[in-house]
């Protein structure tokens, strides 16, 4: 359902995308992917309250995730709260560094 919603969004079918993501979060309230996708779609539509709500739920599920911390940083920056944006930006950097330490081969460049 998340992939279908993402495809809908990509071709401009916004309402079906939001409806599918809402159904996905209702059906699987512990689905990080569904909440994160809902946060991103709402953010792109400048529905900042809905984006923040979905992003915070995703963050509860995976607080150390690089991507949700980046998403929350962007949302807070757009809302004008630089301190919170910087906090989540720093968390994203920490997550990235941890990943680099765990998987150094994935981060080598020729």
pLDDT, residue 97, reads: 87
Instruction: Give yes or no for residue 1 having a pLDDT over 60.
Output: yes
- CATH class, domain 2-107, is mainly alpha
pLDDT per residue as tens digits for the range 53-101: 999 999 999 999 999 999 999 999 999 999 999 999 999 998 888 878 8
Q: How far is CA 57 from CA 48, 51, 65, 82, in A?
A: 14, 10, 12, 21
pLDDT per residue as tens digits for the range 92-109: 998 888 878 887 777 565
Task: Give domain limits for the chain.
Answer: 2-107
pLDDT, residue 107, reads: 58
pLDDT, residue 62, reads: 96
In angstroms, the CA 103 to CA 19 distance is: 37
């Amino acid at each position: 359902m998340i992939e279908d919603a993402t495809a809908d969004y990509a071709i401009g079918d916004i309402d079906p995308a939001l409806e599918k993501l809402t159904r996905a979060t209702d059906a699987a309230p512990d689905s990080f992917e569904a909440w994160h996708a809902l946060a991103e779609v709402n953010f792109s539509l400048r529905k900042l309250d809905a984006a923040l709500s979905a992003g915070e739920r995703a963050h509860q599920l995976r607080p150390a995730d690089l991507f949700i911390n980046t998403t929350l940083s962007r949302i807070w920056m757009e809302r004008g709260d630089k301190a919170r944006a910087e906090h989540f930006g720093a968390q994203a950097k920490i997550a990235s560094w941890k990943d680099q330490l765990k998987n150094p081969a994935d981060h080598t460049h020729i």
